[in-house]
Amino acid sequence: MKISVKFGTIKTEDAEILVFYLYEGMKIMDKSLAYCDKALHNSISELIKKKEFIARLNKTIALPTYGKIPAKRILLVGLGKKKEATLDKIRQAAGTTVSIVRDMGISEGVVVVMSSIDISASLSEECQAYVEGARLALYKYHRYKYIPPEEQQELTTLTLFLSNGDAAKTVRNAVTCGQIIADAVSFTRDLINTPSQDKTPVILADYAVKIAKEYGMQCKVISLPELKKLGMGGLVGVSLGSVQSPKFIILDYNARAKNQDTLVFIGKGITFDSGGICLKQAKDMDQMKSDMSGAAAVMGAIMALSKMKAPQRIVGLMPCTENMPGGSAMKPGDIVKFYSGKTAEVVNTDAEGRLILADALAYAENYHPQAVIDLATLTGSCVVALGTVVTGMMGNNEELKKRVQIAGEKSWERVWELPLWEEYQEQIKSDIADIKNVGGPHGGAITAACFLSKFAEKYPWVHLDIAGTAWCEKNGAYTQKGASGVGVRLLVQLVRDWAKFPGKNSL
Ligand code: BES
Ligand code: MN
Ligand code: ZN
């Protein structure tokens, strides 16, 4: 869908459909809508007065205009209560709008009157959120499914209509950013929704090489012989049970600006998690193709940031492998030695994410980063603790946690902190190795982070457990059953706001 921006007055717009937004319990405030109402003999205000249309969030009603104005139809979309308005409700309302309009069989001539969305955010934030919601709502994963032509109804163009006084340049820029972000999220969703057979570590590495070429980044892929030489025993160990060879993918976006900060993003890239020798049960095991959601989010975020020409150096580290129970698989009781030199007793082969992340976290030191953030579908325990609404956050630096928390609020990919206190470290002590990879039945999300913290001692670090947020059980206003693409918007927001905080080494 192409999104264009237009400035002027709607009086002469001969659109297929004019879209307005309304707040619950409020009269018509928008001048353009008041004009249409008058032209239609107050039929819109009557609807509202008689409560035939209540502007609850995502509620809609379409009206014909019978030639009273050049536009053929009017669509009213609810935004809910004005005092509860957020940018995410704009995303949702945008998603609802495009889905409804598409299902009405309209493919172009949709004109959205932006002045009717009036919340306390800036116009550019509103436009960006609108574009994100609209684009993401139309996301589909149909790579393997035949869709009959009559069901291939697509909305091809959408016009954001603004009043003449609005700053054209900022608005256009916001629309472009929204598109870049939505494209990156869609890319990430595609990778996650792809079956494991078609996204082996080798295939993911090929994607990364392609992206790097396209967007002018460096890409390095470390393969098995070198992984062994480097001593990445975690990644190598997890890969032993699979016939697919592991890859450690490095995407390096380097703006080469003066005094730039270096940020490292690490993504868990388990392309299928069977549990290994500690095999998972069959129920919902198919969902474990999504155990590379962290890596996919990192790839998507870096792609977006390179398109936006972020002034920082951003390095993505993506350790990728399957976790399978093959004949040469790692066994419970085995000990692995990581890139840092530390050792861990593998009590449970299903706690594999922390093993591959340990190598990546240790490797991150080579970049002398100002901050490191890892994203991982790490523990079922995090889902038990926080559900599927919010991402679990743990880390070793208050300022960085604060920044991530703020970026989470802004992007509406919110995070909630769990404590990473000393006392929990007890649980991962081992008798025969430096640590063990499971901390017992209690506080599993936290003890997993404790494990990671042993490899992230040299820099400010935040760990995001996205096990609950990476996958949607059902459709939402701008999400579909399947991959959510969580993390992309959060990371992009974090980097875009990075410079607003005090400079280098400020953490
Ligand atoms: N990938 C899983 C975590 C997961 C579970 C992600 C559900 C998404 C949805 C991870 O590798 C895992 O298996 N974790 C174990 C750890 C346990 C063995 C200590 C878990 O959470 O059960
Ligand atoms: Mn596992
Ligand atoms: Zn896993």
What confidence tens digit (pLDDT) does each residue in 192-225 have?
Answer: 999 999 999 999 999 999 999 999 999 999 999 9
Closest CA to 352 of 366, 334, 364: 334
Cα(348) to centroid of ligand 2, in Å?
9
The residues near 84 (Cβ < 8 Å, ≥ 6 apart) are none
For domain 182-496, the question of CATH label 3.20.20.70 is answered with no
Domain segments of the chain: what residues? Answer: 2-163, 182-496
d(CA 275, CA 172): 47
**Which ligand does the CA of 448 lie closest to?**
1
The string of pLDDT tens digits covering residues 324-344 is 999 999 999 999 999 999 999
Is the CB of 352 inside a 6 Å radius of any atom of ligand 1? yes
Is 280 among the residues known to form the active site?
A: yes
pLDDT for the residue numbered 15 = 96
The string of pLDDT tens digits covering residues 281-325 is 999 999 999 999 999 999 999 999 999 999 999 999 999 999 999
Ligand 1 atom closest to Cα of 280?
A: 13
Q: Which of 280, 331, 337, 342 is catalytic?
A: 280
d(CA 197, CA 157): 35
Helix (H, G, I), strand (E, B) or coil at 177: helix
The secondary structure element, H or E, covering residue 342 is none
pLDDT at 504 over 80: no
Cα(288) to centroid of ligand 1, in Å?
9
For residue 45, give the DSSP letter: H
In contact, 138 and 156? CB cutoff 8 Å: no
Protein residues with C-beta less than 5 angstroms from the ion ligand 3: 270, 273, 291, 353
pLDDT band at 164 (very low <50, low <70, confident <90, very high): confident
Is the CB of 388 inside a 6 Å radius of any atom of ligand 1? no
In contact, 194 and 40? CB cutoff 8 Å: no
Which residues are registered as beta bridge partners of 220?
Answer: 250
For domain 2-163, the question of CATH label 3.40.220.10 is answered with yes
pLDDT for the residue numbered 394 = 98
Average pLDDT value for residue range 391-413: 98
| Percent of the chain whose pLDDT exceeds 70 | 99
Ligand 1 atom closest to Cα of 470?
A: 8
Ligand 1, atom 22: nearest CA belongs to which residue? Answer: 380
Output the average pLDDT for the chain: 96
pLDDT band at 408 (very low <50, low <70, confident <90, very high): very high
pLDDT for the residue numbered 189 = 98
Ligand 1 atom closest to Cα of 444?
A: 19
Phi, psi of 23 (to 5 degrees): -100, 145
Is the CB of 349 inside a 6 Å radius of any atom of ligand 1? no
pLDDT at 505 over 60: no
Q: Rounded to 10 degrees, what is the CA torsion of 320, 325, 328, 333? A: 90
Is 354 among the residues known to form the active site?
A: yes
Ligand 1, atom 5: nearest CA belongs to which residue? Answer: 380
The string of pLDDT tens digits covering residues 108-163 is 999 999 999 988 778 999 999 999 999 999 999 999 999 998 888 899 999 999 98
Cα(280) to centroid of ligand 2, in Å?
8
Residue 51, classified by CB atoms within 10 Å of its CB into exposed (0-12), middle (13-18) or buried (19+), is exposed
In this structure, the chain runs to a length of 507
Closest CA to 293 of 476, 86, 484: 484
pLDDT at 503 over 70: no
Average pLDDT value for residue range 30-51: 96
pLDDT band at 502 (very low <50, low <70, confident <90, very high): low
pLDDT for the residue numbered 153 = 85
Is the CB of 321 inside a 6 Å radius of any atom of ligand 1? no
Ligand 1 atom closest to Cα of 437?
A: 19
- Best-predicted range by mean pLDDT among 79-88, 117-126, 148-157, 166-175? 79-88
Cα(378) to centroid of ligand 2, in Å?
7
Fold: same for 2-163 and 182-496: no
Is the CB of 470 inside a 6 Å radius of any atom of ligand 1? no
pLDDT for the residue numbered 163 = 86
The string of pLDDT tens digits covering residues 438-487 is 999 999 999 999 999 999 999 999 999 999 999 999 999 999 999 999 99
pLDDT at 270 over 80: yes
Is the CB of 380 inside a 6 Å radius of any atom of ligand 1? yes
d(CA 438, CA 306): 37
Is the CB of 322 inside a 6 Å radius of any atom of ligand 1? no
Average pLDDT value for residue range 61-84: 97
Cα(193) to centroid of ligand 2, in Å?
18
d(CA 446, CA 451): 9
Q: Which of 89, 189, 354, 496 is catalytic?
A: 354
pLDDT at 272 over 70: yes
Note the maximum CA span of the chain.
82
Is the CB of 465 inside a 6 Å radius of any atom of ligand 1? no
Cα(328) to centroid of ligand 3, in Å?
19
Closest CA to 445 of 496, 397, 369, 394: 394
